[in-house]
Amino acid sequence: MSVDEDEASESRTALDEQKGSIAFTTTHWSVVLKAQGQSPAAQEALEKLCRTYWRPVYGFVRRQGIRTEEAEDLTQGFFSLVLERRDFDAVRKEKGRLRSYLLTSLKHFMASEHRRAMTLKRGKGQRPIPLEELKVNQEGVMEPADPLSADRVYERRWALTLMDQVMHRLKDEYCVAGNAALFDLLKQMLPDEPGAQSRAAIAMQLGMTDNALRQAFHRFRHRYQFLLREEISNTVAVASDIEDELRYLISVLRT
């Protein structure tokens, strides 16, 4: 699936129409930064972010030529260190964005691993993320065939992770409303969706007129774009960065 400039523009319109729906001051990353990780809410938010964004980190580690088992261990060790130290001084240098903060911290962590052994120290003094949550799904997390740099692997996994989060949330909303079948068919109308049926075939399956289907898809995409912006807001420190991150996400997916 993809997001283009037109959709980004529609997304901005959606935000205007739903002004106030995103309570930015309570998003995950802003909560973590404001409390410096000390409050229960900040700790919970930080743990959620770590669980969500382990795939970009794991992809970066694997691109260093590290075998699967060791990469899993290093990924676990990195997030355990983030949870234990809660050192966010680097955030100011990285414009307060979770994407940049994690990548910079990961590079420092990997450099340290070359200088000293941390295996016995990992996980000491804090509640670790259950390792099974960081295990690799061999079917869902395949290494890219093209020789991307470690940074590009990280960025692409970051973008795809955000998109996946949005799609899961949207699917849950449709399922709760008893519209799981509608979701599955409307999803096929998104750009670049593999195995998509024609609009006429989808309308026939749903028993809708073409106009009714267009309206249903408009609502679907409108909500999809809004949730994407909401997910992005969870990874930046200030609301003004949402637009830049959205544009960056689009550029990453296009390359």
Which residue type, as a one-letter code, is found at position 87? D
pLDDT for position 112: 82
Query: Tens of pLDDT along 34-84?
Result: 656 567 877 788 888 888 888 999 999 999 888 888 888 899 888 888 877
Provide the whole-model pTM.
Answer: 0.72
Task: Name the token pair of 104.
Answer: 């910079």
Higher pLDDT, 210 or 87: 210
- Rounded-to-integer distance, Cα 70 and Cα 73, Å: 5
With a cut of 80, say whether residue 219 has pLDDT above it: yes
pLDDT for position 7: 46
- Give the number of C-alpha atoms closer than 13 A to the C-alpha of residue 48, restricted to the C-beta side: 15
- Rounded-to-integer distance, Cα 137 and Cα 209, Å: 40
Task: Name the token pair of 78.
Answer: 């990195």
- Rounded-to-integer distance, Cα 196 and Cα 199, Å: 9
**Sequence-distant contacts of 21-27: CB under 8 A, at least 24 apart:** 21/226, 22/229, 22/230, 22/233, 24/233, 24/239, 27/233, 27/234
Query: Tens of pLDDT along 187-213?
Result: 999 877 777 788 899 999 999 999 999
Mean pLDDT of the chain: 77
- Rounded-to-integer distance, Cα 102 and Cα 78, Å: 10
Burial of 250 (0-12, 13-18, 19+ CB in 10 A): middle
Q: Closest Cα to residue 193, out of 161, 167, 219? A: 167
What are the backbone angles phi and psi of residue 236, rounded to the nearest 5°?
Answer: -125, 160
Contact 45, 88 (CB under 8 A): no
